A and B are shown apart, each in its own frame.
Chain A
Amino acid sequence: MSYQVNEKGYYGEFGGAYIPEMMRPNIEELRTNYMRIINSYNFRQDYISLLKNYVGRPSPLYYAKRMSEHYQSHIYLKREDCNHTGSHKINNTIGQILLAKELGKTRIIAETGAGQHGLATATVCALMGMKCIVYMGAIDVERQAPNVKKMRMLGAEVVPVESGSKTLKDATNGAMRDWINNPVDTFYIIGSTMGPHPYPDMVARFQSVISEEIRWQLDEQAGREKPTRVVACVGGGSNAAGAFYHFIDDEDVELIGVEAAGKGVDTHETAATITKGTVGVLHSFRSYVLQDEDGQINEAYSISAGLDYPGIGPMHANLHKTDRAKYIWATDEEVLKAVMLLTQKEGIIPALESAHALAGLEKISLKPEDITVVNISGRGDKDMETYLNYLGY
């Protein structure tokens, strides 16, 4: 069975391109060109060189000795937090901005939740000298203030979105409306494995460098390319897609995604889309979404601004439906404990999003001989205020 996207843009029954006609010329241009460009020699040269010399790849694969002792098993951390700008998001924005340049676009738009994707986009726009507009829910603008300031310092215009739930979903609406209003010179850099085809596939390809590296790094350190399992947090699904990518066809590697349960999957304040969602169409793709019986989209909630999205990338919906990957959840409370555990056992302060993957370890039975790779998608700088409040400092 193939877990990759098919010709029509679907992963099983999920995905597709449910776009209004206004977005079609841009989506068609991208769809018919992206593979050619990504596979071209020039693109590969530029992409690889920037990942290496600008982002600082390969990111370390680190054997977490004290965490391993704690769990009586073998825990490796894939350190996407060490990337320039502090998360995995930059792997994708480097790829997309090179593509945008190749397509002759001069104006870049993006949506952002935690601000990490906005920051990664503002950064590559500064790097390439392109105009950058970042849409961000008004609530997120407040709770992720340090990233907003960084984006502005980098020369990006940050537009607070006041409609709807004022978070990531609405930021995405804002960016899509901008694209409809600016169809000629603008490229939309989507931050996760979501949106209409070919975005989910394209973003997964750009993030796949994570698992490509895990394979050879694990081989070097443990003498085997394949771990027992890979664990990653899931918002739209891009860091998980990247961490799973080169293991998807190795059915003996367990793939585990951890969703944000917020205050609990039995409350309305949750973002656990696979656990709680039903099939629908949001943001131009078919997947699981949090919605009411009338098909109106519910607001998602999580302590982490990067995970409170009421949808999930179509690749994950299909991995779930086919049972290839398993999706579990962690609550805000469990996540904060996981932040403290990693911080004090290994001296690494993870992002709230990434700490969901760590919290997932509590819910998996880890055998002594198992090798578990946890993707640390980002660092905790942006979340310091939340952490300090939690600790009562």
Chain B
Amino acid sequence: MKYLPSLSLTLRGRFRGGFTSKIMNNRINKLFQEKKEGILSVYFTAGYPELNDTRTIIEELVKNGVDLIEIGMPFSDPVADGPVIQQSSLVALQNGMSVKKLFEQLHNIRQSVDIPLILMGYLNPVIQYGVEAFCQKCNEIGIDGLIIPDLPPSVYEEDYKAIFEASNLHNIFLITPQTDDERLREIDEKSTGFIYMVSSNATTGAKTSVNQFQKEYFGRIRSKNLKNPRLIGFGISNAETFAEACQFASGAIIGSAFVKCLEGDGKLVQKISGFIHSIATKS
């Protein structure tokens, strides 16, 4: 009895040394291998504007040529978010959105959708669902990665990494203009999938232009030759800011501006195709 556990430990240790990441055949890796520039990733809050819009939004985004989708899990206290996503989260929760509900809505999504899907949200709802159960469910559905801004890398490494990797999930880390070189190297080392570059010192929210300070930051990070590809997000809102960001990274993420375009009257599918075409007419 004593002999067996120690044997399995050695085996596990050896495997660890052999692979840098245990995540395999993940759609995120495939996307970045196949497409080196101009990747368009779109964020939306699940349950907004209506509870059951989730699938329509995903399918419409795919139809319009979006490369990657971040599905927002609304939280009552989204501290990293600006007014637009605060509001969409509030409405989504009032509509009755929850992690459980979202998983129901995403059931069988892989029968119709091929592009990478990421869930983005805050830690507490994941903890209450149960981290292991949550990750297993993601795997079952075919989710490729998670972005949880209030799960810092050190806590992730200690308590979450093994669970995420067992379900073939990338955990996406953020960097900001304040991230120093040492931290940058650490995050590059710990990252799999891609690095989420927060475009400025700000919560989420659309801005209409990229300023000189941001360009210097984008350029500085580009020159570091990181091992992971990067997407730039927060404040990317239109064709100009998208194109600008794409000069410095593999692509960019649009959140608040897209969420905002969904509000008001009109048909959902038309708003979505109109918005995506205004960003990237070529795709």
Contacts and interface: CB of A to CB of B under 8 A. Distances in A.
Contacts of A164: 76-77, 90
Contacts of A20: 79-80, 149-150, 152, 174
A118 interface: no
Interface in B198-221: 198, 201-203
A181 interface: yes
Given A17-B152, A169-B77, A282 B176 contact: no
Contacts of B180: 25
Contact of B126 (A19, A21, A22, A295): A295
Contacts of B279: none
B77 A297 contact: yes
B183 to A, nearest CB: 7
Contact of A19 (B99, B100, B150): B150
A280 to B, nearest CB: 5
A294 B99 contact: yes
A183 B90 contact: no
Given A20-B79, A22-B201, A181-B201, A295 B129 contact: yes
B125 A296 contact: yes
Given A18-B155, A21-B175, A296-B76, A281 B203 contact: no
B149 A280 contact: no
A180 B203 contact: yes
Contact of A183 (B126, B173, B201): B201
Contact of A21 (B75, B128, B179): B179
B76 A297 contact: yes
Interface in B78-105: 78-83, 86, 90, 93, 98-100
Interface in A276-318: 280-284, 289, 291, 293-297
A8 to B, nearest CB: 9
Contacts of A284: 79, 150
A74 to B, nearest CB: 43
Given A21-B174, A21-B175, A180 B201 contact: yes
Contacts of B98: 294, 296
A289 B90 CA distance: 19
Contacts of B126: 295
B127 interface: yes
Interface in A138-182: 163-164, 169-170, 173, 176-177, 180-182
Residue of B90, B99, B178, B179 most packed against chain A (CB within 10 A): B178
Interface string A172-199: 0100110011111000000000000000
A24 interface: yes
B71 to A, nearest CB: 16
A236 interface: no
A17 to B, nearest CB: 7
Interface size bucket, B side? 35 or more
A20 B196 CA distance: 12
Contacts of B129: 294-295
Given A22-B176, A164-B76, A180-B203, A295 B150 contact: no
Interface in B180-236: 180, 183, 198, 201-203
A100 to B, nearest CB: 18
B194 to A, nearest CB: 15
B178 A183 contact: yes
Interface centre among A22, A282, A291, A293, by most chain B C-beta atoms within 10 angstroms, is A22
B124 interface: yes
Given A173-B77, A294-B99, A295-B129, A181 B150 contact: no
Contact of A24 (B76, B127, B152, B202): B152
B155 A16 contact: yes
Given A18-B152, A163-B90, A281 B127 contact: yes
Nearest to B149: A20
A22 B124 contact: no
B113 interface: no
A299 to B, nearest CB: 9
Interface string B142-168: 000000011110010000000000000
Contacts of A25: 178-180
Contacts of A296: 75-76, 93, 98, 125
A294 B76 CA distance: 10
Contacts of A177: 79-82, 203
Contacts of A170: 77
A164 B90 CA distance: 7
A178 B151 CA distance: 20
B174 A22 contact: yes
A184 to B, nearest CB: 8
Given A177-B79, A296-B76, 19 more contacts: A18-B150, A18-B151, A20-B150, A21-B175, A22-B80, A22-B149, A22-B198, A22-B201, A24-B152, A164-B76, A177-B81, A177-B82, A183-B178, A280-B127, A280-B128, A283-B77, A284-B79, A291-B128, A295-B124
User: Lowest 7 A-B CB distances belong to which pairs?
Assistant: A295-B128, A295-B125, A20-B149, A294-B98, A21-B174, A296-B76, A295-B124
17 contacts: A19-B152, A20-B79, A21-B198, A24-B179, A163-B83, A164-B77, A164-B90, A173-B79, A176-B79, A184-B178, A280-B127, A281-B123, A283-B79, A284-B79, A294-B128, A295-B75, A296-B76
Interface of B: 75-83, 86, 90, 93, 98-100, 123-129, 149-152, 155, 173-176, 178-180, 183, 198, 201-203
